Structure 1
Amino acid sequence: MSVLQSSSKVRAQRGLSLVGLMAWAFVIGFFGLIGIKVFQPVVEYNTIQSMVTKVARDGGNSVPEIRSAFSKLQAVEYGVESIQAQDLEITKEDERIVVRFAYEKEIELFGPVSLLLKFKGQSK
């Protein structure tokens, strides 16, 4: 096969078109926006979970003592605003104090579109 014959063969082009690139940029941007907006509430949930576990273990033996310990921890911890001490459900199961919580967080994404996150947990 000569050089002229091999160079005259037409190859199909591969790659991403401008429209395809814009579509991928939109998808990545949309999920990036959701990730950025959801990050802080998830961090707050993890903080609340650790606080609840700590007060169930070390907070005292009565409901007022546990609520007071949670309020003191909440004053120290940064960014815990979604739940208050009176929102905790405190029970005793098998001689062990169990603290449960549940709350919802609504996040505005854009315009009329919002995302509703429902969190619940209990002491470990």
Structure 2
Amino acid sequence: MRNTQYSSKQHQKGISLIGLILSMGVLILIAVLAMKVVPTAIEYNSIRKAIFSAKNAGSTVREIQIAFDKQADVGYFDAIAGKDLVIVKNGEEVEVSFEYTKKIPLFGPASLLMEYSGTTAKSGIVAKKPEKPQ
């Protein structure tokens, strides 16, 4: 005759309570980090679209800056302004570049530093702002 009661170690499957709590903690940390980083990534994409739009809207440095500022007003981003753009004429082609950093506070003294850059140049090389003489 077979024993109808199962041994508790033979048929137990799943995750323990401690394992569940730890895995939920990790998932919550990842979700909080994503909620802080995703808006800056969306802002970066808006800025990239705005520089292409501004490049096509003007031919002079000032026209491109004004067009970018209008795009910034419409796109609700304020990480950079038209005056922060690096606008270089490469032959007949105008190239618009930008670089900026975003500091995201996490908890206590810990923070995340995101460095964003973009350009309209076909080479993909971001032009640097000329250093001001001291």
Q: TM-score range by the shorter chain?
A: 0.7 to 0.9
Indicate the residue corresponding to 2:36 in structure 1: 37
Looking at structure 1, the residues matched to 65 and 78 of structure 2 have their Cα atoms a distance apart, in angstroms, of 15
Looking at structure 1, the residues matched to 15 and 102 of structure 2 have their Cα atoms a distance apart, in angstroms, of 39
Indicate the residue corresponding to 1:57 in structure 2: 56
Aligned residues: 119
Q: Match for 2:55: what amino acid?
A: A
Task: Report the structure, 1 or 2, having the larger helix content.
Answer: 1
Unaligned runs of 5+ in 1: none
1:92 and 2:71 correspond: no
Greater mean deviation of Cα atoms: 86-95 or 49-58:
86-95
What does the per-residue CA deviation read over 1:60-112, in whole Å, with 9 as the maximum and x for residues that have no partner? 1111111111112222222x111011110001224211100010000111111
State the identity %: 34
Paired residues of 1:68 and 1:85 also in contact (CA < 8 A)? yes
Looking at structure 2, the residues matched to 57 and 122 of structure 1 have their Cα atoms a distance apart, in angstroms, of 13
Between the two structures, name the one with larger relative contact order (CA 8 Å, sep ≥ 6): 1
| 4+ residue runs over 6 A deviation | none
